[in-house]
């Protein structure tokens, strides 16, 4: 073995798929309008027989969309925190690596990784609910209608993408 290579480590720069959503890229040209459209459809549906719901949706969906991205970011930061703590601890146990790797790349590889990702999705959903309820109440809806609409938005638009196993994509790519 060459003396210079002893102790040299090469690190992979593959990122979890859910983290790529928050890095400015061309992907935003698709994600932002798609999220807006989904939020608008769910909001419109959740308003039921409300008169002038088209006007209401046009005026307030962008706020709902921003609240959704903010909430998704909070959930992602929870997972990223676990990921970084795992890197800082530098525990050599395979179990620890399975959990941290599962949170980052495939939550279905370990039950605790799945629980952590589920908690991040639930936290993001909770923030979606709280922010949307506040936005909708402030927009003039009754508290009952704001809760109903916010709950539907939270359940349908929670960041379930966090569960997508990034390892599926990375295992199909060849790295030179």
Q: So where are the chain's domains?
A: 69-162
pTM for this entry: 0.82
Q: What is the mean pLDDT of the chain?
A: 85
Least confident of 1-15, 63-77, 92-106, 119-133: 1-15
Alpha carbon distance 171, 39 (integer Å): 33
Contact predicate 67/131, CB 8 Å: yes
Alpha carbon distance 158, 163 (integer Å): 11
By percentage, how much of the chain surpasses pLDDT 70?
Answer: 82
Alpha carbon distance 20, 139 (integer Å): 32
């Amino acid at each position: 073995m060459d003396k210079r290579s002893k102790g040299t480590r090469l690190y992979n720069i593959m990122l979890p798929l859910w983290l790529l959503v928050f890095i400015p890229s061309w992907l935003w040209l698709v994600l932002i309008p798609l999220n807006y459209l989904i939020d608008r459809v769910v909001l419109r549906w959740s308003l039921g027989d409300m008169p002038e719901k088209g006007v209401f949706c046009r005026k307030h969906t962008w706020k709902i969309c921003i609240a959704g991205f903010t909430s998704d970011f909070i959930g992602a930061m929870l997972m990223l925190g676990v990921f970084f703590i795992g890197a800082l601890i530098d525990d050599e146990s395979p179990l620890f690596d399975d959990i941290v790797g599962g949170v980052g790349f495939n939550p279905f590889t370990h039950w605790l990784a799945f629980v952590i990702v589920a908690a991040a999705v639930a936290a993001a959903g909770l923030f979606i609910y709280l922010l949307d309820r506040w936005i909708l109440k402030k927009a003039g809806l009754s508290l009952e209608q704001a809760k109903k609409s916010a709950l539907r938005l939270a359940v349908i638009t929670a960041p379930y993408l966090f569960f997508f196993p990034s390892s599926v994509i990375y295992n199909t790519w060849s790295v030179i």
